[in-house]
Amino acid sequence: MMDNKGPVLIEMDTPPRDGPDRAPPVPEPVPLPEGRAMQTVAVLAARPRSRLGRFFWGALSALVGFAVSVAAWRFVENLLGSNPVLGWAAAVLVGLFVLASLLVALREWAAFARLARLDRIHQKARSAQDSGDMPLAGKVVDQLTALYRQREDTAWGRSRLAERRGDVFDADALLHLAENELMAPLDRAATAEIEATARQVAAVTALVPLALADVATALVANLRMIRRIAEIYGGRAGAIGSWRLLRTVLAHLVATGAVAVGDDLLHSIAGGGLLSKLSRRFGEGVVNGALTARVGVAAMEVCRPLPFSALAKPRVTALVSRALAGLFGTTASKQGKS
């Protein structure tokens, strides 16, 4: 008997169904949406200004203003010498322009004063909560009542606050009462504004394929949203004040990393299966809308005269779910609520 030391072939009755030659190709990973429009807006608005840059722009503004003033003066002076009637007409027009400039500057100063008033009330309320100072809490409530004295949407809350104020003898309870009666309707108006802006930013990002259109829309929409939120809480910021508020809010978000898109944000607003069904453009719209909602909530914290205590701070997930319900279908709403 001879030993067979060569290879042995064993034939099988049925060939294997799966093999390396029949394996499907490995799918390439699809990059998740990052919300580049909102991140670009955050970086642009929150970029710190250097002292050299402020000095340069200040000197340039002074130089241009001086040159324009001298040119206007010489224009009026020469026109008065050649034609007194036209010269006096030009002088009147220049005077009207100077008056309009002063009125605009006065309006901006008043806007900064109103924002500073909200900030002072906010700081006093936080101090009263931390220390339990009842007289300080009473001053905060008096200032809030005076701030909203002409507001029809707070009339019912002010009347209830006046009726129940005498029954409260604790600083925290008094501030909670004021927050429930005065801040609740304003919070609802602010959240409605956030939802409308988030819906607008998401729709433009998803449906308009133009380059930089989503960035411009996100910047203008967030600036208008922050200005509107300030008006709701009694700030009524001007043009410069609105830009400064935007820089403050976005600088806070950049410092805390809230403008970054994490897994918690993606899963909370869209879910793992929804983004795979949507195109990348729609996914960018959803994420940009969510980041806009984050900016809106931060603006509420900045502009609100009372810190969130008795009332819960709005959740970004709930805001985005309501804002995008019907825009990308009802799936986003169901995924956000789950």
H-helix segments, the chain: 36-46, 51-82, 84-131, 134-147, 155-164, 171-178, 184-207, 213-232, 239-256, 263-269, 272-277, 280-303, 316-324, 331-337
Domain region containing 216: 58-337
**In this structure, is residue 53 part of a structural domain?**
no
- Do 261 and 328 meet the contact criterion of CB atoms below 8 Å apart? no
Tens digits of residue pLDDT in 160-189: 888 888 888 888 899 999 999 999 999 999
**In this structure, is residue 168 part of a structural domain?**
yes
Structure tokens at 203: 């729709």
Q: Please check the confidence at residue 196 and state whether its pLDDT lies above 60.
A: yes
What is the number of domains present in the chain?
A: 1
- DSSP states of 48-99: PPPHHHHHHHHHHHHHHHHHHHHHHHHHHHHHHHH-HHHHHHHHHHHHHHHH
**In this structure, is residue 92 part of a structural domain?**
yes
Q: Report which secondary-structure segment, H or E, holds 203.
A: helix 184-207
**In this structure, is residue 6 part of a structural domain?**
no
Tens digits of residue pLDDT in 95-108: 898 899 899 888 88
**In this structure, is residue 5 part of a structural domain?**
no
- Return the number of other C-beta atoms located less than 10 Å from residue 182's C-beta: 24
Tens digits of residue pLDDT in 310-338: 888 888 888 888 887 766 554 444 444 44
CA gap 258, 17 in Å, rounded:
50
**In this structure, is residue 98 part of a structural domain?**
yes
- Do 152 and 144 meet the contact criterion of CB atoms below 8 Å apart? no
For all residues of the chain together, what is the average pLDDT? 77
Tens digits of residue pLDDT in 273-305: 454 455 666 777 777 788 888 888 888 888 889
**In this structure, is residue 198 part of a structural domain?**
yes
Q: Report which DSSP code applies to 182.
A: I
Residue 227, classed as helix, strand or coil, is helix
CA gap 78, 190 in Å, rounded:
55
Q: Please check the confidence at residue 191 and state whether its pLDDT lies above 90.
A: yes
CA gap 174, 168 in Å, rounded:
6
Residue 287, classed as helix, strand or coil, is helix
**In this structure, is residue 262 part of a structural domain?**
yes
Tens digits of residue pLDDT in 211-238: 677 777 788 888 888 889 988 998 777 6
